[in-house]
Structure 1
């Protein structure tokens, strides 16, 4: 029941346009599919630890909000810093799996859009299974993503990314400890 309440509160707080997205038309279908491809490709690149590929999907600076996971404040940072943070935490010792669905795109103007999606992430690190480290090698989280897109001369790129956790379980040691 607790998870149902979290999901219901999330839907109530989500703007109506984000719940359904803009209609897909002949004029915007290629753009919608490209934004979904990019968001999914970021996940695949992160899980493969293909850091240059992951970096290629972002503008030079990016607005980020991962405060539901890490605390702090939303910030505008260099995209290189975002990738450095991810690569520093998700080293060879730590396996990750990201999955997203329920993609909805809202066009915010000429050359700007927001992609809304539901997301799931799983992290595994064998060191977490040690009793002194919590006894569980897994940590997982569910939530919603928002990716801000702008059209550049190179095509659509992400200039903003937020994750809003709705539920998580597992070992915080796995989440918080960089792999070696």
Structure 2
């Protein structure tokens, strides 16, 4: 009985998670569809980049990016989007992320579409940032990412990253404390 009840739900969930290729009904030309291998490479580029940030593995983070990146964190920190060298982006994250005792970036399914010579991908994200002893010790950002990816060699690389913030919870002062900890050599 239980299997009959949940089997249709499981089939729907699996179809959503697998992100089946677009059909002509979507209006996306057949030549614009992404192969299963491309979809996996795009998902891996995004997931590996975020996991590598959490592990402070900067060489792995850098490998996920094109040499130049359009960065838009204006929904989080104001300012305006900017095109930067990927190495400069790594340096800015290295001045922040190691100051947290732990981070965890959780993403949902990655939905990707080819647009001319690039791919645009979207995913939900929750970023947790922790420093013990801070009151409160956690800052969480919920929202979604939009990425543009371009092919470099055999793999897709991130050429643009935009964070759309839905809401934040916890200690909004934690990023400043993390930067201070890095400057003082207290980072991980």
Same fold by TM (over 0.5)? yes
Runs of 4 or more above 3 Å deviation: 24-27
1:71 to 1:98, Cα distance in 2 relative to 1, 3 A: same
Match of 1:122 among 122, 128, 146: 128
- Name the larger-Rg structure: 2
- Using the TM superposition, give the Cα deviation of residue 87 of structure 1 relative to its aligned residue in structure 2, in angstroms: 1.3
- Residue 148 of structure 1 pairs with residue 132 of structure 2: no
Question: Which string of whole-angstrom CA distances, capped at 9 and with x for unpartnered residues, describes residues 120-172 of structure 1?
Answer: 100001242xxxxxx21100011010111101225211110111100110101
How many residues matched? 154
The answer for unaligned runs of 5 or more in structure 2 is 1-18, 24-29
CA RMSD of aligned residues (A): 2.1
- Using the TM superposition, give the Cα deviation of residue 41 of structure 1 relative to its aligned residue in structure 2, in angstroms: 0.3
Match of 1:96 among 98, 103, 111: 103
Which residues in structure 2 correspond to 1:101-116 (within 5 Å)? 101-109=108-116, 111-116=117-122
1:153 to 1:123, Cα distance in 2 relative to 1, 3 A: same
TM-score (normalised: structure 2): 0.76
- Using the TM superposition, give the Cα deviation of residue 23 of structure 1 relative to its aligned residue in structure 2, in angstroms: 1.7
Higher mean alpha-carbon deviation, 25-34 vs 137-146, is at: 25-34
